[in-house]
Structure 1
Amino acid sequence: MDDIIKESQFRIKKSLDKGFTYHHFAIARSDKFLRKHDSQRLPMFVVYVDLVGSTKMSSELDPEIFNTIIRIFSQEMAYVIEHFDGYVLKFVGDAVLGYFLASEKVALVANKTIMCAKTMQLVIKNAINPLLENKNYPKLKIKITLDFGDCSIIRYGSDRNLSHIDLIGLTLNLAAKMQQKTQSDQITIGDHVYQKLNYKNKQYFFKVKTDPKSWIYHDLGKEKQYSIYSSKTK
């Protein structure tokens, strides 16, 4: 864990002080994987990391500084995802979307995704924010959501090598919708993730009380409301 923080600090310092440009090919790695499994449906854990308050920052900070902060956030989150053997699907504005293949040893991968999410929080807290504060820049806060299920790999066009390729499915939609039920610096997971965790990781979460009028989502083929769980705040 210390090595992850130190490596992150090194890159961030260079980015803030010397205009270091990230040369990280996370998206290309994901693209290669998706094209290899074109038109397949695969079991995956999906992680959605959202930067809180970016709209306010965009209006208050110099555009170049804001761009640097967004780049640091997105790239450092991508490094964490890849460290835990995940793939970075895309950068969506102020959010990062990643996934973890879970064809085998699903429980092992489930617990690994929780460690990934906790590491993201530590990178924000111990690497990014102290260095931003040194420059009198605002500290960052994030919201992390996770869900598990089958995701479909879709290619939009006839060219197998160049046409846009992406993931779609209920799992991705739920991971995005859970952001609405997540507080700053909190992790929220779907029931399909929670049920696969070991005892220790389950104790880290509590079941969220959801209003049926605002949380209208159900598991496929079931009438029961889909349960979600959030990390306990200190």
Structure 2
Amino acid sequence: MNAPLASGKSLLLETQSKPVVIPPMPDYNGRVLAYVGAAAVIFTGLLSHTFADWLIWLVPGALLWPHAVHFLTRQTFLRRYSRVRHKMLHVDCALGGAFAGTIGLVATPSLSIMMMLMFSCMLLGGLRQWLFGIFWFALAAVAGLAMNGMAVSLQAPLVLSVVAILATATFICITAFYAHQQARALMSAKTQIQYQREQSIALSHKLSKYLSPQVWQSIFTGERDVRLETQRKKLSIFFSDIKGFTELSEEMEPEALTELLNHYFNEMSQVALKYGGTIDKFVGDSIMIFFGDPTSRGPREDALACVSMAIDMRKHMKIMRQKWRSQGIKTPLEIRMGISAGYATVGNFGAENRMDYTIIGKEVNLASRLESLADPGEILVSYETFSLIKDKIMCRDKGEITVKGFGRPVPIYEVIDFRRDLGAERSFMEHEKAGFAMYLDSEKVRGYERAAILQALEDAAERLRQGED
């Protein structure tokens, strides 16, 4: 006698709001349903004199067995075994095979019991469980046949066939209904998870605007923990501000000034990110950027990237200044910059509920001091920065300065340009007079734009010649 385990796997999906539990048909309910159907088949077989009378004891056994299994798997030491459900289904398959063999493999009842068992095996454990079920069923059926022999006729009476088919159909339909409900709950949970995932992505992108992209990426990829911790690292530190901004703020309306400042910050941020800089903060018209954390290419490459960024910013500022002049802003705006390389403390500072990712140290103070000493359009660097970049960047000695926190005067240098861009082979050219401004970076000119640029220069030259006449 047998009773299959009518149960699939339980699924637990975590969402942001609460866990979504997708329950299968309970083991206990499924087993009761199957064994009640088996008891009905046995009782009908006894009434039709298809089965031997001594099998009457299997009817109460079939009705009591599910309760015994429930007690064993929930109240005894067996509950500690993770695969007890699979093992009990093996027992069910063996009981079903023994029953089929005992009744001499009468076709309809044997197939009915086998179908319920195999359906349960496939639901619970897939192909592996199904193969084990076939093995135990066949083994027990052979043992039953050895004891009682084959039935005289494998054909079952009509009433027994109808009851067996109804019992199997009822079991499969109810179990399939639970599986359908489980699939619907799974699809609903997947939709909910997808919606919350999209919300999380959108929210993370909004929050990323308040952090440097490198910091945001290291947090969301799990490389960095959000906790109060710092470390000492060798960094290249950059400060800049706009010379003439104070005078401009007195001339312009706050709304127009805000738009100009945001445009300036946006353009400079794009340059900083192009070179891999970590944007620390904006203060007034000042920008603080550093290289070397959370990612670093080595002190030399970090310093070179930092100075390259500063040179690019200086060139870009000239282009923006011309654009602002065309918009009616006559106050000449110049950027001044200071760069220092050395060890600083970097990490999360503040409180547990409000942190700021930044850097502190005397090198930070030195970079700020260099920026304040720089003339409009000038880039000043410390000696250590100069020593790291001097093979690729031309610098001019500017003497020494005294800085708080340093025991002796600090040598400083003015950045001229890339060595490759000096002389006749330079890629960047500029010329600015009243009524005329030209900025040419030949490396950035696209091929299809050259003809238009040459035509504009020829038109300008022709107009200048006409003015001379």
TM-score bracket for the superposition, by shorter chain length: 0.7 to 0.9
Alpha carbons of structure 1 residues 122 and 104: separation in structure 2 relative to 1, 3 Å: closer
Aligned residues: 201
Alpha carbons of structure 1 residues 99 and 125: separation in structure 2 relative to 1, 3 Å: same
Q: Which runs of 5+ in 1 are unaligned?
A: 1-23
Scaled by the length of structure 1, the TM-score of the pair is 0.76
The equivalent of 2:352 in structure 1 is: 158
Question: What percentage of aligned pairs have identical amino acids?
Answer: 18
Deviating above 4 A after TM superposition, structure 1's stretches of 4 or more consecutive aligned residues are none
2:253 maps to 1:62: yes
SS in 1 for 2:343: strand
Q: Which runs of 5+ in 2 are unaligned?
A: 1-207, 418-429, 431-469
The question of whether the paired residues in 1 share the 8 Å contact of 2:234 and 2:299 is answered with no
The equivalent of 1:80 in structure 2 is: 271
The question of whether the paired residues in 2 share the 8 Å contact of 1:52 and 1:143 is answered with yes
The question of whether the paired residues in 2 share the 8 Å contact of 1:48 and 1:95 is answered with yes
Scaled by the length of structure 2, the TM-score of the pair is 0.40
The one of 301, 313, 338 aligned to 1:145: 338
**CA–CA separation in structure 1 for the residues paired with 2:234 and 2:218:** 13
The one of 381, 392, 396 aligned to 1:206: 396
Q: Which amino acid aligns with 2:350?
A: Y
The question of whether the paired residues in 2 share the 8 Å contact of 1:26 and 1:78 is answered with no
Q: CA shift at 1:41, angstroms? A: 1.8
Q: CA shift at 1:26, angstroms? A: 6.9
**CA–CA separation in structure 2 for the residues paired with 1:133 and 1:104:** 39
Alpha carbons of structure 1 residues 33 and 168: separation in structure 2 relative to 1, 3 Å: farther
**CA–CA separation in structure 2 for the residues paired with 1:44 and 1:56:** 34
Q: In proportion to residue count, which structure has more strand?
A: 1
Q: Which has the higher contact order (CA 8 A, sep 6+)?
A: 1
Q: Which amino acid aligns with 2:314?
A: Q
The equivalent of 1:109 in structure 2 is: 302
The question of whether the paired residues in 1 share the 8 Å contact of 2:236 and 2:306 is answered with yes
Tell me which structure has the larger Cα radius of gyration.
Answer: 2
The question of whether the paired residues in 2 share the 8 Å contact of 1:45 and 1:113 is answered with yes
SS in 2 for 1:209: strand
Alpha carbons of structure 1 residues 198 and 94: separation in structure 2 relative to 1, 3 Å: same
Alpha carbons of structure 1 residues 200 and 167: separation in structure 2 relative to 1, 3 Å: closer
Q: CA shift at 1:133, angstroms? A: 1.2
Alpha carbons of structure 1 residues 218 and 194: separation in structure 2 relative to 1, 3 Å: farther
**CA–CA separation in structure 2 for the residues paired with 1:104 and 1:232:** 24
Alpha carbons of structure 1 residues 33 and 155: separation in structure 2 relative to 1, 3 Å: farther
2:405 maps to 1:194: no
**CA–CA separation in structure 2 for the residues paired with 1:205 and 1:97:** 22
**CA–CA separation in structure 2 for the residues paired with 1:124 and 1:42:** 31
Q: Which amino acid aligns with 2:414?
A: S
